[in-house]
Amino acid sequence: MFLMQHLQSQGRPMGGRGGYMRQGGPPRGNFNLQDAPQMGRQPYSNPRPQPQMQQMPRPMPQGMPPMGQMPLPGIYPGSMPPMQPQMQQTPLAFSYLGTVGPIIPGVVESNENAKEIVGEKIYEFVVTLAGEQHAPKITGMLIDLPLDEIRDYLKDFQKFEKKVQQARTLLSSQAQ
């Protein structure tokens, strides 16, 4: 309504259904909002690039070594901490985490079906790691663990592998 009044106040005729009519005849093609007056707005233009602020170097406090040479607490200068080997994620680990990740928030005491759902999600991975013969028993052993341990092995594939291996070892020792 406001647009129609604004256009009429500027002496511009209006079309049949409230459409904008250009002077000299009916609208051609599709109506484009860019054809309408801007009503006090400035047309869009690219803003000028802002100058980047340069950081002034700060004076180093007396007695402090330059950055990169700062000793870390508990580490003597010149010594390196022991490196932790980084394990690469296997496709199986990615698949595992993608499968069980979404159910982790539901593994809580108040969820009566949590252990059943965990069993359904981990079964195929137990089959892959321990074989079809032992998978049902090992899956049952894994879902009988306390919920905090279940959440731990759901979050970490290496912990899951370790639990499967421990269960398999236990089954093998009982079979003898």
Q: What DSSP string describes 109-160?
A: TT-TTHHHHHHHHHHHHHHHHH-TTTHHHHHHHHHTS-HHHHHHHHH-HHHH
d(CA 97, CA 103): 10
- The model's pTM: 0.51
Sign of CA dihedral 27, 33, 38, 42: negative
The 3-state DSSP class for residue 37 equals coil
d(CA 145, CA 5): 74
**Closest by Cα among 174, 114, 100 to 147:** 114
Q: How many residues does the chain have?
A: 176
- pLDDT value of residue 108: 96
Crossing angle for the helix pair 157-175 and 147-155, to the nearest 10 degrees: 120
Tokens of 164: 């499967």
- pLDDT value of residue 175: 78
Domain parsing of the chain, residue ranges: 91-175
The 3-state DSSP class for residue 79 equals coil
Best CATH choice for the domain 91-175 from the list 1.10.1900, 3.40.50, 2.60.98, 1.20.1740:
1.10.1900
| Conformation bin of residue 74: beta by default, left when phi > 0, alpha when psi is -120 to 50 | left
| pLDDT by 10s per residue, the chain, length 176 | 555 555 556 565 555 444 444 455 555 555 555 555 555 555 555 555 555 555 555 555 555 555 555 444 444 445 444 444 445 689 999 999 999 999 999 999 999 999 999 999 999 999 999 999 999 999 999 999 999 999 999 999 999 999 999 999 999 898 77
Kindly state the DSSP code that residue 25 receives in the 8-state scheme: S
Q: What DSSP string describes 52-72?
A: PPPPPPPPPPTTPPPTT-PPP
- pLDDT value of residue 81: 46
**Closest by Cα among 148, 149, 146 to 163:** 149
